[in-house]
Homo-oligomer: A and B are copies of this chain.
Amino acid sequence: MYMYFPFRVCWIKDIVVAVTGENIEAMKSIIQKYQHKGISLVEAGVTRHRSIFNGLKVLAGDQPGSRLSRPEVVIIHDAVRPFFEEDDLLKVVKAAKEHGAAGAVRPLVSTVISPSTEGCLDHSLERARYRASEMPQAFLFDVIYEAYQQCSDYDLDFGTECLQLALKYCGTNAKLVEGSPDLWKVTYKRDLYAAESIIKERISQEICIVVDKEEKEHIGHLLEAVLRNELNHVKVTSGVPCHAGGSIQHIIEQCYSFVCVNVMTADFQNTQKLLDMLEECNLSILYPVVVFSVHFLDFEVGPLSQKMESLMWIREFAIEAKKRNILLCGLLINYSQDERKLQESLRQGAIIIATLMKERNFALVGQLLVA
Contact = CB atoms under 8 A, between A and B. Distances in A.
A161 B113 contact: yes
A359 B370 CA distance: 19
Query: Most B CB atoms within 10 A — which of A103, A312, A367?
Result: A367
Contact of A174 (B120, B161, B364): B120
Interface in A175-234: 175-176, 181, 184-185, 187-191, 193-198
B359 A352 contact: no
Interface string A109-135: 111111110111101110111111110
How many identical subunits does the complex contain?
Answer: 2
A108 B185 CA distance: 12
Bin the interface of chain A by size.
35 or more
A109 B193 contact: no
A225 to B, nearest CB: 19
A109 B187 contact: yes
Interface stretch (A6-14, A54-62, A264-272, A302-310): A302-310
Query: Most B CB atoms within 10 A — which of A111, A123, A134, A187?
Result: A111
Q: DSSP class of A's interface residues: helix, strand, loop or mixed?
A: mixed
Contact of A124 (B112, B133, B175): B133
Contacts of A367: 367, 369-370
Nearest to A113: B133
A363 B355 contact: yes
A105 interface: yes
Query: Most B CB atoms within 10 A — which of A167, A354, A364?
Result: A364
A368 interface: yes
A352 B370 contact: no
Given A108-B112, A133-B111, A164-B121, A184 B190 contact: yes
Interface string A41-57: 00000000000000000
A120 B133 contact: no
B119 A160 contact: no
Contacts of A115: 105, 130-131, 176
